[in-house]
Amino acid sequence: MKLPPDIAAGIKQYFNTGGPMSRTRRERVRSTLLGTDDGAIRCPRLVRVGLDCRDAEPVGLLMQLLHEEGFGNPEDLRDEFEIPDVRLVARPYADASGIVDVRDAARRNVLWSALVLGLCTPQLYDPARPVLWTQAALTRRLELFDPAGFYA
């Protein structure tokens, strides 16, 4: 979209770097406080969680596993497993470490991972929210961090 000359001149005034274009540059700043265990600001990684369902549909597969283990619904898992009781910061990751293979792992490990993923959004783990098993939730791979040292 081409802007009228008077509007374009006004915009350039606010975005002028003060030098010729040959002296401008772009830098990608990439840093995080997540995963720091020491120092004044701490935000340690507690766990990596994810499920590998291979080509199977994750919700149906996990619901079948849930019923085979004698549970009525995903909320029933809260009484069975120990999970973090505070909100945690979540961050997606692509690594394979920490991933539980649904077909080969112990069923308790699979159900614990599914419970935790059901309590997560892409950015947050919240034990107060309902356990939601959706395809998006169960196919996430997340690292969970404790932000308590960040705000101390």
Reported as a single tens digit per residue, the pLDDT across 4-25 is 666 655 555 555 556 666 666 7
Task: Report the pLDDT value the prediction gives residue 139, as an integer from 0 to 100.
Answer: 94
pLDDT of residue 103 exceeding 60: yes
Task: Report the pLDDT value the prediction gives residue 7, as an integer from 0 to 100.
Answer: 63
Residue pair 146/125 in contact (Cβ under 8 Å)? The answer is: no
| Contact residues for 17 (Cβ-Cβ < 8 A; gap 6+) | 23, 24
Predicted TM-score (pTM) of the model is: 0.75
| Contact residues for 9 (Cβ-Cβ < 8 A; gap 6+) | none
Residue pair 17/24 in contact (Cβ under 8 Å)? The answer is: yes
pLDDT of residue 84 exceeding 80: yes
Q: For the chain, what percent of residues have pLDDT higher than 90?
A: 51
- Nearest CA to 86 out of 46, 126, 26 is that of 126
Q: Please tell me what DSSP assigns to residue 77.
A: G
User: How many whole angstroms separate alpha carbon 122 and alpha carbon 137?
Assistant: 8
